[in-house]
Every structure is written in structure tokens, then in C-alpha cells.
Amino acid sequence: MDVSRARNWWCAPSMPKEESSPLAFVPEEERKAALAEWKQLVEAGNSVSWFGRVAVEWARAHPEDPRSPMALYRVVRASKRGCGQDSKEAKAAFRLLHQRHGKTDWAKRAPYVY
């Protein structure tokens, strides 16, 4: 994904408001399944936070993997454009990028966190 121009990062959804009456054509079982799926989306948060958690966890577990600095950079860069601006995950990615991979081109491309 080209994070420098991408604007398709998702924002954190909120729980739906109570319906005044359930939709008659949707079976109860499907309504319950939809609510459970929606709760998972709410828990995941916005795209920058979700991707940040995954990338930081991966980079910590695989410090020698050449893809780690790129993934960390992308989290930092995505925080400029997505709903996750000023997220703790972007800050963690920035710190890890510069602590472990400070001399890489990826770290040089991210001189600060947004």
C-alpha cells in the first residue's frame, strides 16, 4: 500500500445506537452475528492503531527481518494521513524504528512522528 498518498485508512467505528424496532427481514441469528462482528471492529480501533500494533509486535519478534523497518515506517507515515494521528502505536513504531533501525533509509524517511 502506498501510504504517502493513501486516504483509505479506516476510522474507529462506534457501537450502533439501539434500534427502535428490529428489521423484520433480518433473522435474529443474523442480527446477533452482525452485532458480534461490529463489536470486533470497535475493539480493533482505527486502521493506524491496528496496523501499528501488528507491525510493532512483528518487529519486536523479528528484529533482523529486513521488512521490519519498512513496516514501522509505514505506521509512522500512515499516522499523518489516517484517523490514528497522535496514536501511541505510531509513537511506539517511531521509537522502535529509530532505536533498532536508526541508520536505515526507512528511519531517515521518518525524522519525526506526526
Residues 41-55 pLDDT 10s: 888 888 888 999 999
Rounded Cα gap, residues 82 and 88, in angstroms: 14
Residue 14 lies in a domain: no
Domain of 88, in residue numbers: 47-109
Residue 21 lies in a domain: no
**What value does the mean pLDDT take over residues 53-58?**
96
What predicted TM-score, i.e. pTM, was given to this entire model?
A: 0.74
Residue 79 lies in a domain: yes
Rounded Cα gap, residues 68 and 91, in angstroms: 15
- 61-106 residue pLDDT tens: 999 999 999 999 999 998 887 676 678 999 999 999 999 999 999 9
pLDDT of 58 over the 60 cut: yes
When divided into structural domains, the chain yields a total of 1
